Chain A
Amino acid sequence: QQQVKQSPQSLIVQKGGISIINCAYENTAFDYFPWYQQFPGKGPALLIAIRPDVSEKKEGRFTISFNKSAKQFSLHIMDSQPGDSATYFCAASKDTGRRALTFGSGTRLQVQP
């Protein structure tokens, strides 16, 4: 059973555009929601994370929006750059992140110059 569903599977955006990736979760015990960025042949690196008591969190060009009632959260990348081309994973964890992560299936983002 897939507990975190991520969409779209792939995304092509023009340079300067907004990239939007969506995730939905089922387990209401999840209380920590990070986003990871992964380049080919590398391990994932944390981009930004949010707790469910906050509806939005922004760090630079990256923003997480969180809708607790709908059990959905999304990543917005403003002013997308070719260097942002990578695979993005949403994830969820219990106990404020002390537990193992449950990952979405990933979104492959390509930013065209």
Chain B
Amino acid sequence: DGGITQSPKYLFRKEGQNVTLSCEQNLNHDAMYWYRQDPGQGLRLIYYSQIVNDFQKGDIAEGYSVSREKKESFPLTVTSAQKNPTAFYLCASSTIQGDQPQHFGDGTRLSIL
């Protein structure tokens, strides 16, 4: 089955620690996205990439970093500079053709110890 796999499902971060969230897709999609979801709010865009080795900042990129070395992988690092990292993180992917939906993984819930 094609889809998006996010791991781990739950992650805990200590103060001053960087943590990396994994996102892998086998849909052969060119574009990949990271969104953050807070309670009672919609999803907000952190970073996106439309092609390997290229990515763009979204609305809330501060304190986060990404890489896109392979088409199927788009890991997100939450750095110690992100002072309020507790949230539900969602990865998505899509083709670059028009009128095609973004497909989402089942998320990683990050909490502070």
In contact, B101 and A34 (Cβ under 8 angstroms): yes
> What residues of B have a CB within 8 angstroms of the CB of A89 in the complex?
42-43
Chain B min CB distance to A93 (Å): 9
Main secondary structure of the interface of A (DSSP, over half): mixed
Chain A min CB distance to B102 (Å): 6
Chain B interface extent, by class: 20 to 34
The verdict on A43 contacting B94 (CB below 8 Å), with A97-B99, A103-B42 known, is no
Interface residues of A, count at CB 8 A: 27
A63 part of interface (Cβ distance < 8 Å): no
In contact, B40 and A9 (Cβ under 8 angstroms): yes
B17 part of interface (Cβ distance < 8 Å): no
Instruction: Tell me the A residues contacting B by CB distance below 8 Å.
Output: 4, 6, 9, 32, 34, 36, 41-46, 49, 51, 89, 91, 95-98, 100-106
